[in-house]
Structure 1
Amino acid sequence: MSWQDYVDQQLLATRCVTKAAIAGHDGSVWAKSENFNVSKEEVAKIVQGFDKQEILTSSGVTLAGNRYIYLSGTDRVIRAKLGKVGVHCMKTAQAVVVSLYEDPIQPQQAASVVEKLGDYLINCGY
């Protein structure tokens, strides 16, 4: 399965996320949904935020030029929101899964889908 297949079939097809991307820890985007123009710099900042959450606490999470308010995070998961759009990101051994979801999708629905794929990638060595 290609990285694009993971985005299309494991994330978008569930209808629990509206936009998604998978990228390396260096920020390079491996695959993304259509019209989700997330930059290498934006992803690299998120990856830094898993270890240094104060980076995101002060400046928020920026994806595709939109700034979201940082809500919470761990060394594995980051959550942010702006209005009706939420962000759920998960870090794996070599990648980060980035997703956006919009009302009426509930945060736990997006979290479940993103973390299920993240756990699968971890089990596969990614």
Structure 2
Amino acid sequence: MSWQSYVDDQLISTGKICKAAIIGKAGGVWAASEGYELSQAEQNFITHTAFSDPQTVRAGGITLAGFKFMTIQASEDEVIGRKGDRGVFIIPTEQAILVGEYEATPAGDGNIVMTKLADYLKSVGY
């Protein structure tokens, strides 16, 4: 399965995640939903700061595709952001970082979808 298939088939097609990307921990976007463009600065923040400096993430929030989310949770296992009816889950795996935004859907539903894919990728070494 291609990385794009994971985004399209495992995240977007569920209807629980509306925008998603898979970023390599060493950098670079491996796959993204159509039109979801994370700037280089946003990618760097995710790969270099989001999980190594949770205090900075908590204090300043996280911006994705130009939209700033308030941080709800920041730990080495997951970053959760929210603003209005939009939210985001950012979850690291062994070699990648999953980014999934939801809108107008229960946060728990989006979290289940994201965690399921993250757990699978971890189980196969990614």
| Conserved? CA contact 1:26–1:40, under 8 Å | no
| Conserved? CA contact 1:92–1:118, under 8 Å | yes
Following superposition, the deviation at residue 51 of structure 1 comes to: 2.1
Which residue pairs with 1:3 in the alignment?
Answer: 3
Following superposition, the deviation at residue 43 of structure 1 comes to: 2.5
Give structure 1 stretches of 5+ with no counterpart. none
Following superposition, the deviation at residue 99 of structure 1 comes to: 0.6
Give the structure-1-normalised TM-score: 0.94
Following superposition, the deviation at residue 50 of structure 1 comes to: 1.3
Which residue pairs with 1:51 in the alignment?
Answer: 52
Q: Report the Cα distance in structure 2 between the residues aligned to 1:34 and 1:3, rounded to whole angstroms.
A: 13
Give structure 2 stretches of 5+ with no counterpart. none
Q: Report the Cα distance in structure 2 between the residues aligned to 1:40 and 1:75, rounded to whole angstroms.
A: 21
RMSD value, Cα: 1.1
Which residue pairs with 1:28 in the alignment?
Answer: 28
Counterpart residue type for residue 110 of structure 1: G
Segment drifting more, 109-118 vs 42-51: 42-51
Deviation by residue 1:81-113 (Cα, 9 ceiling, x = unmatched): 11111011110111000011001x111101000
Following superposition, the deviation at residue 74 of structure 1 comes to: 2.0
| Conserved? CA contact 1:25–1:44, under 8 Å | no
Q: Report the Cα distance in structure 2 between the residues aligned to 1:45 and 1:99, rounded to whole angstroms.
A: 16
Give the structure-2-normalised TM-score: 0.94
Aligned pair count reads 125
After the TM superposition, list the runs of 4 or more consecutive aligned residues in structure 1 that deviate by more than 6 angstroms: none
Counterpart residue type for residue 50 of structure 2: G
| Conserved? CA contact 2:57–2:74, under 8 Å | no
Following superposition, the deviation at residue 38 of structure 1 comes to: 1.1
